[in-house]
Structure 1
């Protein structure tokens, strides 16, 4: 007969685990003390050196609470939930607050339910936030539309934390009934409403907060961070593969405001995680940037738990979940061992065992495009002055650059006559509507000698393709259609390499290291064959070109979108 939690707590039965000779990082008292921690029935029993069935000698290493990623799209790792868990648990992340916005935009409620059910039995605790913007904006062409009535029943699920990032800022501030309804059901259920408000300020920010939004992960300056904390918001310092704001925001942290701040990855690829770590890598970066180590740990644990109402975790104390991470020191944050609810799940950078995954079923069939015209990527600029999408280094923010282009007599932009200039297009791939938006991309992206196409195109996840010639662009799209989604790289009509992502065109069921290895091969190819700019991530930068909720200038299946005027514009700058 197994001993009960009560018996272990009161000493009537031995603890299941005792970790000895460990430096305990106390995020409550701001102390680090040498001692022992006892665990039983998935929870922390206390610090007394009680009898235990298993004893682990930490040899003076540091024990910190399980790390929490405050906002992540699991799909951006290109892994299904089980494989994602296998990737991040060895880095000490034991809880993630996940917005399945990507798969919801492809498969709607079926996508939401899959992510919820596929995560339930994992040692990684996945708190699902219900996607608020499917589609992200009314002007997008997603695979589904989710209304408040669709989401409301799921808010009673204990694994659902609230409403995910409210990207439709104009809709909320203008009082759009469907937007207000979604925020209303989350608030009525007493759950969190996440924000997404780049560059929002002043009176508009006041209204955004007053209407119920409590977090934001889109700050890019210390001033924005302070402005949000002053309004009672939690600010998530993001360090993803493309959006990297932690170093920019560290100067905004003070002893007075850091308790309202936490960390998130948002969108990070598996190769990047293997290279730089996960939340533990952000801790290293923050401490190198001058943040006190215990303050950094608190932001990655207790602050995040408090923000999302997870009162059972975030610290090392009796009664809390035994989500524990042993690290070598408080500088590098190299993870030696990770326990999830008292169970050793990873050691020395490796999972103890492989995790079972839920079969995705209907999510496999997701690429459905209409027959394409003879020249689907035609762009005409009769005036010779074109609006071109311009990039910024390591940023999701783009801008409109007006530049002269050489055209044929009929105004057609021929790339051969404009060295370095690229064409970029988004093709609707959910309902075979035939919608295709085509534009021009600044030479700074650096793509040469071919084309890249992917079904990862935030947030509606249509096909986005860029190239220096139309033939390779078309060949890349055709191959994507054949493999059911993923990433395809083409040169001179031949497929150089590809990464199939059959689950919704977004995720793989293969092991994380295999996906990461393949992605690394693609990235090397992007660097050495295509000469992609070092200030860009070849695939993530391309994916975010299709996200109109991020300033300033994007492209969708309906054409070029000016985020400042919230309107579609012609490639010809005189129109």
Structure 2
């Protein structure tokens, strides 16, 4: 692919001077040589490419090159991705795969080094990235930051291993991303003082403003499970220089149906936000914060820009990278071809007896799950017992949940969740943040067994079952991603999702929500393959509690 020399005219959106001008943009050898005002131009808009400031490509279920060929149609030319998911499964091998696959496409895909692999010692993980490995990875040119430091307790309590990673990153002059939901006061001040400069976990204005006051950049997140845009969008007007936009975790069906960062631009305009503030958060701020190699539609910049019909509809007509047209007339103009199978999955099928929960004295301590929220609550419930086994209580929406290691044959661990709303069947997946063990929730032990053993036979993916029938999506790359095209994957996912929707849950994305029920660094109760976990106390606790 070589650079071109050409000119293009339209309404040029200059996010630096905050003006829209009728102009002709001249490109020579991949760089913008002039932007000249013209009296008459076409109605198309020319603007910088969009950037996702924090995401996990694995959550789209697509490998990086397949993801790139999908999002370019939405105007995305750059992103900062944390390969945390595949690193938990495959360690450095997984990180190498993501970087090498991203090199195949012309988008500006940069990476963070996962800072917490595993996230905690209270779960079984495939690999460990210690401070020596992290320091080595940070030296790679594709790496722009130490990715979300979830171990805020380690930072506050001066954990040596955590501090070594932070110091190594600071010595290399690279950014450090945060992950500190609800952290405030003295603890937050120490967390930020360590050098952590961005956070995507704010869910309230109060939390975001405190972090901004301490010098942090706030990444407003709108993914498939966690949605913070409605709560935080006013920051785009009050603090435009401190805001970036991100998706964090986005499922492929949401991506194709709604779009990517362009979706947030459209939503912001509907709320009356200023176009320049939105575009600044979607391009200028992340490009400067992370030092991305993307032009901003200025004379002398590389010719990285997109052409759209109008900001409010945001239909992308063309996309250019280094002066080369990479998308035009709904056609991706770069090739992607992959047949990679890369995995770490070692697990034998289980028996029905493995799912038995023996009743004990006291009430059952269950997690309360909410749609679109990673934070759970807790509730004491009366267990439903049949034949000395605590089973799902569908009438009271109290469902058995299972987490079990994919890396060995450790015994399944059971907990209970209230809120999913399934009336029949079960779902299971090998996407279970952060160690990506097997996680399932269901209305009966029989359906749970069917879902889990189907998943084991596939060696990873997503499964929905009911009364002996099932639909599934196989994820042959680490049990997290597929080599399929985005369109093919979404068709397969939609078929499974339609099957699952008949099971009764009213959650917008039950699979995405389930995947976070084992994330031990987000309050309040979670479930790991080692037991029910209290995030505040940061320890495994009993399933039954005497009142």
Asked if 1:434 is matched to 2:410, the reply is yes
Which region of structure 1 is more displaced relative to structure 2, 122-131 or 418-427?
418-427
Alpha-carbon displacement from aligned partner over 1:138-166 (angstroms, at most 9, x marks no partner): 22211000011112222222211121110
Asked if 1:524 is matched to 2:498, the reply is yes
Of residues 278, 285, 294, the one that matches 1:313 is 294
Tell me if structure 2 keeps the 8 A contact 1:370–1:434: no
Asked if 1:73 is matched to 2:73, the reply is no
Of residues 4, 8, 31, the one that matches 1:19 is 8
Alpha-carbon displacement from aligned partner over 1:426-451 (angstroms, at most 9, x marks no partner): 11002x14043210111x21122211
Aligned to 2:119: 136
CA shift, 1:92, in A, is: 0.6
CA shift, 1:277, in A, is: 0.6
The 3 A distance-change label for structure 1 pair 401 and 43 is farther
SS in 2 for 1:375: helix
Aligned to 2:145: 162
Structure 1's consecutive aligned runs of 4 or more residues displaced over 6 angstroms after TM superposition are none
1:172-571 to 2 correspondence within 5 Å?
172-255=155-238, 257-310=239-292, 312-313=293-294, 315-357=296-338, 359-360=339-340, 363=342, 365-370=343-348, 372=350, 374-383=352-361, 385-408=363-386, 410=388, 412-415=389-392, 420-430=397-407, 432-442=408-418, 444-494=419-469, 496-527=470-501, 529-534=502-507, 536-571=508-543
SS in 1 for 2:33: strand
CA shift, 1:319, in A, is: 2.4
Aligned to 2:18: 30
Tell me if structure 2 keeps the 8 A contact 1:247–1:286: no
Asked if 1:44 is matched to 2:18, the reply is no
SS in 2 for 1:438: strand
Alpha-carbon displacement from aligned partner over 1:447-470 (angstroms, at most 9, x marks no partner): 222111100111100000111111
CA shift, 1:570, in A, is: 1.5
2: CA distance between counterparts of 1:72 and 1:34?
A: 35
2: CA distance between counterparts of 1:370 and 1:483?
A: 12
User: Normalising to structure 1: TM-score of the pair?
Assistant: 0.91
1: CA distance between counterparts of 2:252 and 2:328?
A: 19
The 3 A distance-change label for structure 1 pair 176 and 60 is same
CA shift, 1:405, in A, is: 2.2
CA shift, 1:269, in A, is: 1.0
2: CA distance between counterparts of 1:573 and 1:422?
A: 18
2: CA distance between counterparts of 1:417 and 1:473?
A: 14
Q: Which runs of 5+ in 2 are unaligned?
A: none
Of residues 63, 67, 72, the one that matches 1:89 is 72
1: CA distance between counterparts of 2:464 and 2:458?
A: 13
2: CA distance between counterparts of 1:352 and 1:520?
A: 26
1: CA distance between counterparts of 2:185 and 2:29?
A: 49
2: CA distance between counterparts of 1:212 and 1:203?
A: 15
Aligned to 1:10: none
Q: Which runs of 5+ in 1 are unaligned?
A: 6-14, 51-56
1: CA distance between counterparts of 2:189 and 2:139?
A: 29
CA shift, 1:250, in A, is: 1.3
Asked if 1:572 is matched to 2:544, the reply is yes
Which region of structure 1 is more displaced relative to structure 2, 79-88 or 414-423?
414-423
The 3 A distance-change label for structure 1 pair 355 and 40 is farther
Alpha-carbon displacement from aligned partner over 1:117-140 (angstroms, at most 9, x marks no partner): 111131121101111110011222
Tell me if structure 2 keeps the 8 A contact 1:436–1:559: no
2: CA distance between counterparts of 1:491 and 1:401?
A: 28
SS in 1 for 2:482: coil
Compute the RMSD of aligned alpha carbons: 2.1
CA shift, 1:408, in A, is: 4.5
User: Normalising to structure 2: TM-score of the pair?
Assistant: 0.95
SS in 2 for 1:268: coil
1: CA distance between counterparts of 2:28 and 2:442?
A: 57
1:97-136 to 2 correspondence within 5 Å?
97-136=80-119
Alpha-carbon displacement from aligned partner over 1:279-337 (angstroms, at most 9, x marks no partner): 00111111212210111011100011111122x43521122232211121122222122
